[in-house]
Amino acid sequence: MGYQLERQTADEIFNCLKQDYDIFAPKLFAGEGCFSDTDVIRYGKVESLDEICWSKRSDYSFKEAFFPVNEVLFYFTEDSTSVPACRKKTALIFLWSCDLHALRRLDAIYLTNGPEDFYYKRLRENARFVLMGCEETCDTGFCVSMGTNCTEDYDLYLKVDGDSVLADLKTEEFQKYFSGKDCREREVIPDHVTENREKVTLPRNLSAETFSDPVWESYGSRCIGCGRCNFVCPTCTCFTMQDIIYRDNENTGERRRVWASCQVDGYTDIAGGNSFRKNQGERMRFKVMHKIYDFEKRFGFPMCVGCGRCDAVCPEYISYVNIINRLAKEEA
């Protein structure tokens, strides 16, 4: 159900939502960018609609608000274990269409790729998602090519339009916040882009020969293995496990799941001293092929959603878009 309401009414509804939800959205962190005197847009808890960056893509994805970078799975003693409680309030996360499509990819990995992941499932059940529309394409995004530029799989859609706000409710639980308010019912269609400056053609006939293509060596010589592309990506799911032993009692501690990167040294190290994908070209090949080939063969849709953050953040200006288009051109 769609509504048009005055900004003051929207602010009242937002304040009511804060009582029941922890609200996260992209916001500006002035002076906290990667370089001196630069800003960064990333996710944080917001207290008002004014804090939200509506028109510019966040440098980091919604994943940092939804999926903990460092998650305690359980505590242990000599003879027992205990699982920490989930967050007390349901998370209400503002995000764009491409990121909402990324949630489907995370669901595939953690909920359908074998046994359900208990920790992910409870995070998923304890989160709701607010769609933000895109009126203009971002610089490096190619969501139209990936078919992720629009979606209807949201719980709530909000758009601040001058002194008024447009809302569309897909989930019944939000109806109570609008009932009795000064709202005018109307059809609301979320904004979405229909064309990007960047365009991608996905290769459809990749073969085993692709894995030995010289293209990987050329990109491998440029990649420095920093992992920034992985950490800003909304669909990357690599993690490592850490056991933390407490100093005051060496028989007690905690096990953590921590974000990791397939591009950094040490990620593929195994017991016995062996290591897979030792050079950056092999790691680049693994990442790209997983995004556009392996994942789709298993689940029926590509892993990449075309948000373009990897191209924007790479310190070596490696273009993921160019890699995909190059592979498509070579198979033609």
Pick the closest to residue 233 from 91, 109, 327 (CA basis).
Answer: 109
Q: How far is CA 249 from CA 14, 18, 210, 242, 244, in A?
A: 46, 40, 52, 17, 11
Domains identified in the chain, total number: 1
Residue 224 exposure: Cα atoms within 13 Å on the Cβ side: 7
Per-residue pLDDT of the chain (332 residues; tens, 9 = 90+): 899 999 999 999 999 999 999 999 999 999 988 888 899 999 999 999 999 999 899 999 999 999 999 999 999 999 999 999 988 899 999 999 999 999 999 999 999 999 999 999 999 999 999 999 999 999 999 999 999 999 999 999 999 988 999 999 999 999 999 998 999 999 999 999 999 999 999 998 888 788 888 889 888 889 999 999 999 999 999 999 999 999 988 899 999 999 999 999 989 988 888 888 989 999 999 999 999 999 999 999 999 999 999 999 999 999 999 999 999 988 76
CA-CA distance, 85 to 72, in Å (whole number)? 10
Give the residue numbers spanning the domain of 98: 2-331
pTM of the model: 0.94
Partner residues linked to 26 by β-bridges: 43
Pick the closest to residue 45 from 63, 22, 61 (CA basis).
Answer: 22
CA-CA distance, 62 to 234, in Å (whole number)? 7
Q: How far is CA 35 from CA 27, 64, 213, 251, in A?
A: 18, 20, 35, 42
